[in-house]
Structure 1
Amino acid sequence: MRSMFSRSIVLSLLMLPAMSMAQEANGTTAAATAAPAANALIAAAPQDKGQIVFFREPKFVGAAVGFKVREGEAELGKLRNGRYFVVTAEPGKHEYNMHGETKDVLTLEIEPGETYYVQASIGMGLVAGRPNLAPSDEATFLSKKLKIAD
């Protein structure tokens, strides 16, 4: 089931440039297809690399539980309740994961100069929380009152 979810994310990300080219061919480019400008919290991505903003919205349930976000065995950062951090990545396919009672993996195809948003959450588990990584967007990120991770 997770592999189908990962595939659908990758396919969705691959379709975005094609949709943008089709709109340009029709002469109907919209501001929504343009690269987003930097916001007050997150600077624009470097032109030769992509960046991923991992965030976790503040909630009472699971507030005491924190997770480490990893790529392979390398720890990228810790996500606690109401926190975020930014990772710069080389273009290409990347697999990010969080471990808890279970393991969740999110696959992203990183494009140069693009910023991606990933929302982490915790589900109910038998012994501990079940981590979840899901693609998100800038509007969702900005709508939360978040602090930079320590």
Structure 2
Amino acid sequence: MRSLLSKATLAAVLLVPTLAFAQDAEPANTPTETAAAPAPAAAPAVQNTLIAPAPADKGQIVFFRESKMMGAAIGFKVREGETELGKLRSGKYFVATVEPGTHEYVVHGETKDKLTMEIEPGETYYVLGSLGMGLVAGRPNLSPSDEGTFMGMSKKLKLAK
């Protein structure tokens, strides 16, 4: 009896969505109307008051790191060649103004990570710094990001000194 009830329940669970789908389907030879769906309401953009526009003749890069408890005590330096641009700690950001052209940014920790970017004059770029798991210390990582991600985290970010 229990087996019969289980089979009936299973058949109902599988059959009901199939029947509902079949009722919603239109016959193949029936013309369909196409109406433009209303555009979804755009989410109000958060005004970026933290980052000034880039100078017209230079580019700028906003390096930022999410505020997290894991790895909060570990910071890493962002360098271009031998020049230290800034230090990223949990919940911090800094802005580097650079000449247009190709640039390679490096972070060191237990491992080394490089990010190569092509910088255009008057443009602002965003780079997310993160910390992965390592054997002894964290593994720093730099990855391209966008203004929306930065602004989403901005309430918890502070300018690095």
How does the TM-score come out when normalised to structure 1?
Answer: 0.74
Aligned match of 1:149: 160
1:72 Cα deviation after fit:
0.7
Q: Find 1:82's aligned residue among 69, 83, 91.
A: 91
Aligned match of 2:33: none
1:101, 1:49 → 2: CA distance?
33
Q: Find 1:95's aligned residue among 104, 114, 125.
A: 104
1:94, 1:82 → 2: CA distance?
24
Bigger Rg, structure 1 or 2: 2
2:66, 2:90 → 1: CA distance?
6
Gaps of 5+ in 1: 1-37
1:100-141 C-alpha deviation (Å, 9 max, x unpaired): 000000000000000000000000001110010000000100
Aligned match of 1:123: 132
Do residues 72 (structure 1) and 81 (structure 2) align? yes
The percentage of counterpart residues that share the same residue type is: 75
1:1-150 mapped onto 2 (5 Å cutoff): 39-144=48-153, 145-150=156-161
How does the TM-score come out when normalised to structure 2?
Answer: 0.69
Aligned match of 2:38: none
Specify which structure has the bigger relative contact order, considering alpha-carbon pairs within 8 angstroms and separated by 6 or more residues. Answer: 1
1:39 Cα deviation after fit:
1.9
1:45, 1:115 → 2: CA distance?
6
2:123, 2:159 → 1: CA distance?
20
1:84, 1:41 → 2: CA distance?
10
Detail structure 1 runs of 4+ shifted over 4 Å in the superposition: none
RMSD value, Cα: 0.9
